[in-house]
Structure 1
Amino acid sequence: MPSYRVWALPGLGEVLPGDNIAKLIAATSPGLADGDVLLVTSKIVSKAEGRIVEATDREAAIDAETVRVVARRGPLRIVENRQGLVMAAAGVDASNTPVGTVLLLPADPDASARAIREGLRDELGVDVGVIVTDTFGRPWRTGLTDVAIGAAGVRVLDDLRGGTDAYGNPLGSTVVATADELAAAGDLVKGKANGLPVAVVRGLAHVVAEDAEGARSMVRGAADDMFRLGTSEAVREAVTQRRTVREFTDEPVDGGAVRRAVAAAVTAPAPHHTTPWRFVLLESPTSRVRLLDAMREAWIADLRRDGKSEESIAKRVRRGDVLRNAPYLAVPCLVMDGSHTYGDERRDAAEREMFVVAAGAGVQNFLVALAGERLGSAWVSSTMFCREVVRDVLSLPASWDPMGAVAIGHAAAAPKARPPREGESFIEVR
């Protein structure tokens, strides 16, 4: 039967800046053999590499190691650190280090693992795998466990995709995190307070390989990360990162994603507990072409009445190509159901303005939600200039006022960076 053995190495002693981890391990007479895997706690690697820094304020050290805040609750921060790891406090540790100092993670854990592996080969003539471990919490699970943050000579992932299970069912998504499983096994014998920072696994020589990738390959890329941000951070990023997208790929748009965006849109505030939003979704090419052709004809007629030249008309009409080139269109409409009539021109005008503001809030919710669905969009005001045409082509009630159109699709290219805008520039305090 398949089996393995795991044990902690005693006698390592205190690790100081400048120490050679491989030499310290070799000095314990560990009895290592080819195919063994060493699990080395990152804390001793950090100490040996001089990653101890003076810091009267741990928060400042966390700031310095943080690339991106993922989530925040009170003083607790989950962040992406310089090593690409998403973890609490960027891995900055104030335990087991002199007062007034903190311990940072190794600058390059994979390089640290390679150095230990090569050092053991030089010292003991053995071919072993090395994993540098650290303690992580995990989403949806209480408790901590050790995971691999650096690796050398170990197949960190076991990709089973393309194979079959014991019943012949195809495996389409199974990739086993072997390095993390080994790290957790080692932690069972090292413990958190036993002074045993190194463990050995024997019996799994098949995971040791000269050309194996490092643990950095286990970090999920942003494009595949469905849980990249915490709630408030996700809302803030969706708002700030939303861009007007004018060029789209041919990739189809998921109608379900658009409907989820509509569900977000209709949570906007509205006067008198009304629901002044309606969204007409143009999902077929035929409906889109019919609408856009009719709008173009109306627009050209208006421009000719204004005395515009044919060259000027052609230039202006080309601006509508963003709608024509999009694989999906939505036409948000304002309805005044539930509005009050005062019989006073000033108050009736203000009443309509309230509803228009509510419609705008709904459209903004819609655009932000589309960004959250990883869909690009562009709000174009054109339907507001030919409402009768739009109502006629789309068979809408006379009480529905089209409030522009939204082009929706997958962005053909990454949007350009938006010039920075400081909120303070738009604030007046009284």
Structure 2
Amino acid sequence: MSAEQVPGYRVWALPGMPEVRPGDDLVKLIAAAATADGLPQLADGDVLLVTSKIVSKAEGRVLEATDREAAIDRETVRVVARRGTLRIVQNRQGLVMAAAGVDASNTRAGTVLLLPEDPDASARAIRAGLRTALGVDVGVVVSDTFGRPWRAGLTDVAIGAAGVRVLDDLRGGTDAYGNPLSATVVATADELAAAGDLVKGKATGLPVAVVRGLGHVVESAGDGDGARALVRDAGSDMFRLGTSEAVREAVTLRRTVRAFTDEPVDPGAVRRAVAAALTAPAPHHTTPWRFVLLESAEARRRLLDAMREAWIADLRADGKSPESIAKRVRRGDVLRNAPYLAVPCVVADGAHSYPDARRGAAEREMFLVAGGAGIQNFLVALAGEQLGSAWVSSTMFCRDVVRDVLGLPENWEPMGAVAIGRPAGAPKERPPRAADDFVVVR
């Protein structure tokens, strides 16, 4: 391969950009900086990399604000994580970043800069304006500085784009060894933004850079998808929340689900939920939790049939009518219709014995409370696995039957049954509850 055939590109900062102020014609300023001796210094296929700060200034996104935190509040739609005063949030543009992108640097004292209202639209306007002013067809990337999960330091990424292939999807191709590429999607616009930052810098007064030699990433027709395509949707974002926020959301998402799809349940997900259950508090350093996992349809049928017979016998003994019995038994369908069942049990190994009934009853209650704590952990962890659940108390009313059918030791106390599966629909909105209504302060 000759030197001319070796892939390469050139990147440089565009000199001559003045201080941008609200209301300035940004296209006119860039066009002037990109013209020398009456000739445009931009060419078809170039990519222009524009720092978002000058876009914000030109568009009047300068806010008089002595309180930056209040500005962050206004730009935030969802808090992702909070550590002290640092907030990682999703802002009104859909970007997840520190402080909602509100910046107090490179602007006069007493003001803050907000991100462009629509960075993709800003990029489209710059591209169209340069086509008219200079007669060139360039790609445009509007960039901003981000921190990244798992990595120290900052880098520029694309928050707006026009005429640039923001994602290069290599799936379906092969590598140099012939191996199929099944997951490789390159964030081309982010790579361009980072390349531009190397020559623009953070405090050099060079807010615009040019990349030449990568014409294949410039869209030949139309403005392309824009940088919005780089933002993961909620369904594919595995790291949507910080640790403490994820725990709180999982607790909130834990809802009783009574209708499930036929989609099979991953046994590994249930076992991970069991592992979470085992972190609950328990008396005397004991581990009183046991979980019987009914993974076969036959095991579920045998248990539920036996429980139904015991329930019907109890209801008949109570003098209930056949219609009343049928109606009550139908309430157990949530267990019968679930693709997976778990029967949590409490084993009071390590319980202290006392000569009087009062302390003996309290000892038993301690273990039952620990069992409930473990079940709550289990249900919350299932919600974190995107699984719905319903904790039904029915096994507690026929423990001997349950132990007999499942072959459990006599000292295992079934604590209800948990129906598990993918929710068939979104749960109803839960009425808000004010914490103060449940608090007594002394």
Shorter chain as denominator, the TM-score bin is: over 0.9
Counterpart for residue 263 of structure 1:
275
**Cα deviation per residue 1:7-42 (whole Å; 9 max; x = unaligned)?**
111111011111121111111215111111110000
Counterpart for residue 20 of structure 2:
15
Counterpart for residue 414 of structure 1:
426
Counterpart for residue 406 of structure 2:
394
Counterpart for residue 67 of structure 2:
57
- The residue type paired with residue 152 of structure 1 is A
**Cα deviation per residue 1:96-155 (whole Å; 9 max; x = unaligned)?**
112111111111111111111111111111111111000011111111100000011111
Say which SS state the counterpart of residue 146 (structure 1) adopts. strand
Counterpart for residue 388 of structure 2:
376
1:237 lines up with 2:252 in the alignment: no
CA–CA distance in 1 between the matches of 2:431 and 2:125?
44
CA–CA distance in 1 between the matches of 2:428 and 2:132?
51
CA–CA distance in 2 between the matches of 1:102 and 1:233?
28
CA–CA distance in 2 between the matches of 1:223 and 1:316?
38
Q: TM-score, normalised by structure 1?
A: 0.98
1:254 lines up with 2:266 in the alignment: yes
- The residue type paired with residue 164 of structure 1 is T
321, 333, 343: which one aligns with 1:309: 321
- Equivalent runs, 1:221-370 vs 2, <5 Å: 221-370=233-382
Say which SS state the counterpart of residue 252 (structure 1) adopts. coil
- The residue type paired with residue 75 of structure 2 is E
Counterpart for residue 176 of structure 2:
166
Say which SS state the counterpart of residue 384 (structure 1) adopts. helix
**Cα deviation per residue 1:267-299 (whole Å; 9 max; x = unaligned)?**
111111111111000011110111011111111
Shift of 1:413: 1.4
1:219 lines up with 2:224 in the alignment: no
CA–CA distance in 1 between the matches of 2:403 and 2:258?
25
CA–CA distance in 1 between the matches of 2:25 and 2:322?
79
CA–CA distance in 2 between the matches of 1:351 and 1:110?
64
**Cα deviation per residue 1:49-93 (whole Å; 9 max; x = unaligned)?**
111111111111111111111111111111111111111111110
10, 23, 26: which one aligns with 1:5: 10
Q: Which runs of 5+ in 1 are unaligned?
A: none
CA–CA distance in 1 between the matches of 2:437 and 2:83?
28
Shift of 1:343: 2.1
Say which SS state the counterpart of residue 27 (structure 1) adopts. helix
Q: Percentage identity across aligned positions? A: 83
CA–CA distance in 2 between the matches of 1:167 and 1:353?
64
Say which SS state the counterpart of residue 38 (structure 1) adopts. strand
CA–CA distance in 1 between the matches of 2:161 and 2:434?
43
Counterpart for residue 156 of structure 1:
166
Shift of 1:344: 1.1
- The residue type paired with residue 51 of structure 2 is T
**How large is the RMSD of aligned CA atoms in angstroms?**
0.9
**Cα deviation per residue 1:369-416 (whole Å; 9 max; x = unaligned)?**
111111111111111111111000000001011000011111111222
**Cα deviation per residue 1:214-261 (whole Å; 9 max; x = unaligned)?**
101110111111111111111111111211111111111111111111
- The residue type paired with residue 253 of structure 2 is Q
CA–CA distance in 2 between the matches of 1:428 and 1:161?
59
Counterpart for residue 25 of structure 1:
30
4+ residue runs over 2 A deviation = none
- The residue type paired with residue 92 of structure 1 is V
Q: Which runs of 5+ in 2 are unaligned?
A: 1-5
Shift of 1:341: 1.7
CA–CA distance in 2 between the matches of 1:24 and 1:312?
81
CA–CA distance in 1 between the matches of 2:336 and 2:268?
21
- The residue type paired with residue 229 of structure 1 is L
Say which SS state the counterpart of residue 341 (structure 1) adopts. coil
